[in-house]
Amino acid sequence: MAKLTSRELELLARRLEPELRKAFVQAIVAARNDAAVQAIAELLRAGRVEQVLVALGMDAARFSPLAEAVRSAFVAGARAGVQEIPPVRLSLDPIITGSYRPRSPSPVLRASFDLRNPAAERWLATNSSRLVTEIIESQRQVIRGVLQQGMIAGRNPRQTALDIVGRVGETGRRSGGVVGLTSQQSQYVTNMRAQLASGDPKAMAAYFDRQRRDKRLDGIVKRAIAAGKPVSQADIDKIAGRYADRLLALRGEMIARTESIASLNAGREEAYRQQIEAGKLAPENVECTWSDTNDRRTRHSHRAMNGQKRMFGEPFQAPSGALLNYPGDTSLGAGAEETVGCRCMKQYRINMAAEVLRGQQVR
Taking the C-alpha atoms of residue 42 and residue 64, their distance in angstroms, rounded to an integer, is 28
Asked if residues 262 and 344 have their Cβ atoms less than 8 Å apart, the reply is no
Q: What value does the mean pLDDT take over residues 62-75?
A: 95
Please list, in sequence order, all residues whose beta carbon lies within 8 angstroms of the beta carbon of residue 169, skipping any fewer than 6 positions away. Answer: 175, 176, 241
- Asked if the structure places residue 316 within a domain, the reply is yes
Q: Is the pLDDT of residue 94 over 50?
A: no
Q: Is the pLDDT of residue 104 over 70?
A: no
Taking the C-alpha atoms of residue 139 and residue 31, their distance in angstroms, rounded to an integer, is 12
Sorting pLDDT into bands at 50, 70 and 90, what band is 10? confident
Taking the C-alpha atoms of residue 172 and residue 249, their distance in angstroms, rounded to an integer, is 20
State which H helix or E strand residue 309 sits in: strand 309-311
Residue 1 is predicted with a pLDDT of 47
How does the average pLDDT of the chain come out, rounded? 89
Q: Is the pLDDT of residue 75 over 60?
A: yes
- Asked if the structure places residue 38 within a domain, the reply is yes
Candidate from 38-47, 72-81, 164-173, 352-361 with smallest mean pLDDT = 352-361
Domain containing 29 equals 6-362
- Asked if the structure places residue 1 within a domain, the reply is no
Candidate from 12-16, 44-48, 293-297 with smallest mean pLDDT = 293-297
Sorting pLDDT into bands at 50, 70 and 90, what band is 362? low
DSSP 3-state assignment of 310? Answer: strand
Tell me whether residue 264 is exposed, middle or buried, using C-beta atoms within 10 angstroms of its C-beta: 0 to 12, 13 to 18, 19 or more: buried
State which H helix or E strand residue 269 sits in: helix 233-277
Taking the C-alpha atoms of residue 212 and residue 208, their distance in angstroms, rounded to an integer, is 10
Q: Is the pLDDT of residue 102 over 70?
A: no
Measured in degrees and rounded to the nearest 5, phi and psi for residue 11 equal: -65, -40
Q: Higher model confidence: residue 2 or residue 26?
A: 26
Please list, in sequence order, all residues whose beta carbon lies within 8 angstroms of the beta carbon of residue 133, skipping any fewer than 6 positions away. Answer: none
Q: What value does the mean pLDDT take over residues 77-81?
A: 93
Taking the C-alpha atoms of residue 209 and residue 206, their distance in angstroms, rounded to an integer, is 5
Q: What value does the mean pLDDT take over residues 151-167?
A: 91
Taking CA atoms, 307 is separated from 161, 294, 356, in Å, by: 50, 11, 26
Q: What value does the mean pLDDT take over residues 296-325?
A: 94
Residue 105 is predicted with a pLDDT of 52
- Asked if the structure places residue 234 within a domain, the reply is yes
Taking the C-alpha atoms of residue 157 and residue 37, their distance in angstroms, rounded to an integer, is 10
Q: Higher model confidence: residue 36 or residue 109?
A: 36
- Amino acid identity of residue 268, one-letter, is R
Rounded to a whole number of angstroms, the CA Rg of the chain reads: 26
Q: What value does the mean pLDDT take over residues 221-235?
A: 96
Residue 360 is predicted with a pLDDT of 64
Q: What value does the mean pLDDT take over residues 125-140?
A: 92
Asked if residues 82 and 110 have their Cβ atoms less than 8 Å apart, the reply is no
pLDDT digits (tens, 9 = 90+) for 311-325: 999 999 999 999 999
Residue 108 is predicted with a pLDDT of 63
Residue 95 is predicted with a pLDDT of 44
- Asked if the structure places residue 220 within a domain, the reply is yes
Q: How many domains does the chain have?
A: 1
Taking the C-alpha atoms of residue 332 and residue 268, their distance in angstroms, rounded to an integer, is 18
- Asked if the structure places residue 337 within a domain, the reply is yes
For 46-67, b/e burial (b = at least 16 CB within 10 A) is: eeebeebbebbebeeebbebbb
Residue 211 is predicted with a pLDDT of 95
Residue 354 is predicted with a pLDDT of 87
Stated length of the chain: 363
Give DSSP secondary structure letters for 185-239.
Answer: HHHHHHHHHHHHHH--HHHHHGGGG-TTS-GGGHHHHHHHHHHT-PPPHHHHHHH
- Asked if the structure places residue 197 within a domain, the reply is yes
**Nearest partner of 245 among 297, 194, 171, judged by Cα:** 171
- Amino acid identity of residue 21, one-letter, is R
Q: Is the pLDDT of residue 2 over 70?
A: no
- Asked if the structure places residue 131 within a domain, the reply is yes
Residue 90 is predicted with a pLDDT of 57
Q: Is the pLDDT of residue 96 over 80?
A: no
Residue 361 is predicted with a pLDDT of 63
